[in-house]
Amino acid sequence: MTINEIASAIYNDVVSGLRGITSTPTMSIEQLEDEVIEERLVVIKELYLRNLISLKDMMLAINCIEVDCKDLARCCNFSAGEKALHFEIPQIVNDLGTKALEFVGSIDRQKQYVIYTDTSYQFHKYKKRGADEPYVYIETTPNENGMYDGFIFNVPFVKYISVIGIFKDPRQLEQYSCCNSEHYLNLSSISNEVKKRLTEKKLRYYKAFLTPVTPNTQEPK
């Protein structure tokens, strides 16, 4: 089920479950889609900690991320004017650390870059082994576009890279021409769990704050 399909199913189930209480619950499909995204993150983290899902099954691939050149001073402790290869990716699930990223590298998947999401990337060049290996630093504070900035080191200029990860909001992948919406908007094996939890939450909420509709049985005068 896609995000929209889950939101629509929740709406219909809640309306059905509130018969006799209200026929117009104050929620929209758009609002429910946002809540589906939030609940998805909760379910992923919870089921992963209980060893009930594999993070690999939650990964999404973007194989056409454009690379440009940007000033390192925008995110890192570098002097203004120092530049590096730069890219932007949708926000990842930070709570999972580097496990939220399975791959960053060439679009043919033949060359993987070492991934850093903290300042330890600064010590890569001092490593006794692998100092010349390509690596990336991903700044996990959203930029003005609501995306994460990434910087590539030890790589000749490339036009595009590939990234495979668990993203906070799969809808951010809509901007990439190489992404198939049927895939990235599909919550896969956790669809039913997300739908079940949100439906139950909504029904509990409305039943707690709404009074049943009393039919008007008075005879007209």
| Terminal CA-CA length for the chain | 52
Would you say the C-alpha torsion 163, 168, 169, 172 has a positive or negative sign?
negative
Residue 72, CA distances (Å) to 91, 104, 150, 154, 155 in order: 19, 19, 10, 15, 15
What pLDDT does 211 receive?
A: 61
What pLDDT does 81 receive?
A: 63
What pLDDT does 130 receive?
A: 81
What pLDDT does 20 receive?
A: 77
The rounded distance, in Å, linking the Cα atoms of 213 and 22 is 7
Name the token pair of 132: 């010349």
What pLDDT does 216 receive?
A: 55
Name the token pair of 19: 């018969």
What pLDDT does 67 receive?
A: 95
What pLDDT does 208 receive?
A: 83
Phi first, then psi: what are they for 79, rounded to 5°?
-70, 150
pTM of the entire structure?
A: 0.84
Q: CB within 8 A of 65, min separation 6: which ones?
A: 87, 88, 89, 160, 161, 162, 163, 176
For the chain, residues with pLDDT lower than 70 are 22-23, 73-81, 180-186, 210-221
What pLDDT does 123 receive?
A: 80
Full DSSP string of 130-163? STTS-EEEEE-S--TTSSEEEEEES----SEEEE
The rounded distance, in Å, linking the Cα atoms of 181 and 62 is 12
**Amino acid at residue number 108:** D
